[in-house]
Amino acid sequence: MEKEKEEKATPHYPLIDRELSWLAFNYRVLQEAKDPRVPLLERIKFMAIFSSNLDEYFKVRVATLKRLIKLGEKTRKKLHEDPSETFGQVMQEVRRQQEEFGLVFREGIQKGLREHDIHLVTEHDLNPEQEEWVHAYFEETLAPLLLPIILDETETQLFLKDQTVYLGIKMWEPQTGENCKPERFAMLEIPTKKHGSRFVKLPTKGKHRFVMFIDDVIRFCMPHLFPQYQRFDAHAVKVSRDAELDIEEEVSGNLMAKIRKSLKKRETGYPARLLYDPESPQDLLDMMMAHTGITQDELIEGSKYHNFRDFFQFPDFDMPSLKYTPQPTLVHPQLEHEPSLLAAMQKQDYLVHYPYQSFDYVLRLFNEAAEDPKVTAMSATLYRVADKSAIAKALAKAAKNGKLVTVVVELKARFDEESNIFWAGKLQKAGANVIFGAPDLKVHSKLGLITRNENGKLVNYAYLSTGNYNEDTSAIYADHALFTSDLRLTRDVEQVFNFFVDHQPDKEFKHLLMAPLNMRQQFVRMIDREIANAKKGLPARMILKMNALQDERMIEKLYTASQAGVEIELLVRGICCLVPGVPGVSENIRVRSIVDRYLEHARVYIFHNNGQEQYYVASADWMTRNLNRRVEVAFPLLQPHLVEQVRTIIDLQLADNTKARDVDNNYIQVSPSTEMRSQFATYEYLRSLVPEGMKPTRDKAE
């Protein structure tokens, strides 16, 4: 397979640095935590998302920058930019955001909690009654989970586990003053996983509710842990370790064994950062560095508390008014009462829009196919699945029922490798043919194919989606999924699965776009057509929605289109390296990003085509890795009623004046007099499609 040449020369057109653009995206998440229009407990969740995102960023991107800095000078000169300079800019922006994060927590979140009589108390705030309760709770629940390590009594190196909060403790013996040299230092892991939560709810008093970090419970109960000492000074630290797997991206040898080996290395990867409490005394930090091997370069000032991702577990105190008003899952107006989804797919194509509409339809489809005696074969690509994946179970059931089941499992799906290994083993034991990706490529497409014997003729049914086969994330990720038996599409889907089997690039696709075989070329062809139309004085426009826009060749092509007069609307949730509005370069390009209640995950590409619009829905962003080094699929919408659905949703997003931002993270106000929030409007639009008399939503119990 011929690989696309990736340009290494410094581009001559404006670009936003990828790393800084990602940080700008994560700042949009922090903006949600700041926004008083967002219910308080939802704002706390956005604090957790911001923290979780930043943890992963350090484990992968910052760790990669550090590796690049360690390269030889000649090798570094081949890079676009000096990694040391980029690293400095990244750290400066991270520190700025961390400071604002602390401010949001103190002046926004904590103040808001107090206004609703929820008190996040520390060890200094307890009254005598609460002190007694906390002591009892500690002895019964927390003390058995704790294993303190006295640092100066061990000669072995102390290993700090990844993404785990520890307390570094400085202790004084009786009769010694603050200025005396302490006798002991200790480290203590905060047992969040063993405890089940980072928080402890104290007894309610009247209308007042109280909650504590278990960190502060432990701080308060230090004398119980170390009765021989008189004073204690305890400060939190947390390590983020390099999570970039060192795997040859080829299916040779035992790839699963390589993955397992690399997963073990991940836990012991070198530290990308050590977050510490700025109030920590230097001698405590020195002692921790001496016993862990962590250097001053890895130290990054944080706050009193780390691992804000644990705020996903913050108790809601049964106060629904502090959360989003529930949006009951909508039924699909046609599929809901169809006894057989396969029979329904014989009649027409259907689009299901998650999370607004139920993910149950795909579960029904796969379970129906697994039980149907006329179904002879089933195929699927699994990238990220739920821990208790109903899809994987249906495929295993199909294999046990004697059907030919082929499952392409991507073992290199970052942070999901272990889960995918588990399901690959289960599927193999059930008799499925499990294929571990494709040579040199990561499989990111989301496809399914069902083959059925109908009157002696084999008929294919396909499922194509922008989102994963994951019933958990389908409740929060906004995606589109197509159910089809259209021969034009099912033939091409079959070719994709043939590629997974024989790895031959000689496949021809008449309707699908597949990376890395033809996707880039076809997108370029459609952009060139818009350029040609603009030069002829014809209407020329593109609406492109994706999660990330980083590929420099595609960006350059968009600049060329803008200069030719093509109107370009970009909806980019995350990384966007394109600079809009530059005179003579990109004045016809507008960029907006929507961060709201749900994660915008769908990719939609619309080309005006002189009035004969073409719509493609895809798994692929316009990043070099998606177009060159991943198996991705974009599928056309061929039926007018489906085109109308997607166009309506896109138009609502283009009109969003509540949660849309520009590349500088300024909120976009299209019509300030009327609030337009696209995700809420999308829900109402899809609800309006349900015929009168049909119950529009589905109860969870159903």
Catalytically active residues are 444
In terms of Cβ atoms closer than 10 Å to its own Cβ (0-12, 13-18, 19+), residue 92 is exposed
433, 419, 429: which is closest to 379 by C-alpha? 433
Whether the ω angle into residue 373 lies within 30 degrees of 0, i.e. cis, is no
**In angstroms, rounded to a whole number, what is the distance separating the alpha carbons of residues 373 and 96?**
61
**In angstroms, rounded to a whole number, what is the distance separating the alpha carbons of residues 221 and 218?**
5
544 within 8 A of 619, measured Cβ to Cβ: no
DSSP at 577: -
Helix 40-57 to helix 83-103 angle (10° resolution) is 160
Counts of helices then strands in the chain (DSSP H, E) = 22, 26
Q: For strand 603-607 and strand 541-546, is the pairing parallel, antiparallel, or unpaired?
A: antiparallel
478 within 8 A of 628, measured Cβ to Cβ: no
32 within 8 A of 43, measured Cβ to Cβ: yes
In terms of Cβ atoms closer than 10 Å to its own Cβ (0-12, 13-18, 19+), residue 447 is buried
**In angstroms, rounded to a whole number, what is the distance separating the alpha carbons of residues 408 and 434?**
6
**In angstroms, rounded to a whole number, what is the distance separating the alpha carbons of residues 559 and 543?**
14
566, 355, 386, 387: which is closest to 478 by C-alpha? 355
400: phi then psi, degrees, rounded to nearest 5: -65, -25
In terms of Cβ atoms closer than 10 Å to its own Cβ (0-12, 13-18, 19+), residue 336 is middle
> Which one-letter amino acid corresponds to residue 624?
T
Who contacts 351 (Cβ-Cβ below 8 Å, separation ≥6)? 480, 481, 482, 483, 637, 642, 645, 646
> Which one-letter amino acid corresponds to residue 456?
G
**In angstroms, rounded to a whole number, what is the distance separating the alpha carbons of residues 257 and 130?**
52
Q: How many CB atoms lie within 10 A of CB 177?
A: 7
- Residues pairing with 447 in the sheet: 464
Evaluated on CA atoms 169, 173, 175, 179, the torsion sign reads negative
Query: How would DSSP label each residue in 391-439?
Result: HHHHHHHHHHTT-EEEEEE-TTSTT-HHHHHHHHHHHHHHT-EEE--BT
**In angstroms, rounded to a whole number, what is the distance separating the alpha carbons of residues 521 and 527?**
10
